[in-house]
Amino acid sequence: MLGVSTNNFEMPPDPFADDPNDPASFLEPDEELAPLSSEEKSALKQDLANVREFRAMLEPRGVKGITMLCEDCDEPHFYDWEIIVSNLKSMLEHNSMPVHEPSAQPNPDRYVTWDYCLGYADACHFTFRMGLGGF
């Protein structure tokens, strides 16, 4: 029987736990994920450090998170900082990403792309190194 993992303390309990009529019991089991390589773990740790830095720099300026174009539905998806951090931690600890609910009626003007975050952080570091002040 396929069920939802209850090992993630950040996820609500499975409402169908121990229910013989659980709708998920009719689904095919998910295929097992290979353990993360040391390179993948290192990349995830770097992403987590980046997200924390981006948040520290951009949240005081009103940026709520990151937007990404979904390849499946060709629509932008909006991820709050907390969701990104939680997903990256879960991937590092459990080798899986929990399902999350999107932000309710997000304001697209309050979300930026990953590339924007990288560019903003690079510009801040450059101005600091050059003694030009900060943003």
Give domain status of residue 91, yes or no. yes
| Assigned domain for 28 exists | no
Residues whose CB falls within 8 Å of the CB of residue 73, separated by 6 or more in sequence, listed in order: none
pTM: 0.70
Q: What is the pLDDT of residues 74-133, one digit of tens each?
A: 989 999 999 999 999 998 987 777 666 667 789 999 999 999 999 999 999 998 887 766
Query: Shortest CA distance to 84 belongs to which of 27, 44, 123, 130?
Result: 44
Q: Residue 131, Cβ neighbours under 10 Å: how many?
A: 6
**Better-predicted residue by pLDDT, 21 or 133:** 21
- Does residue 32 fall inside a structural domain? no
Q: Is 65 helix (H, G, I), strand (E, B) or coil?
A: strand
Sheet holding 65-69, edge to edge: 76-80, 65-69, 111-112
The structural domain count of the chain equals 1
Would you say residue 8 lies in a domain?
no
Q: Please check whether residue 101 lies inside any domain of the structure.
A: yes
Contact 14, 23 (CB under 8 A): no
Range of the domain at 92: 38-132
Position 75 in a domain: yes
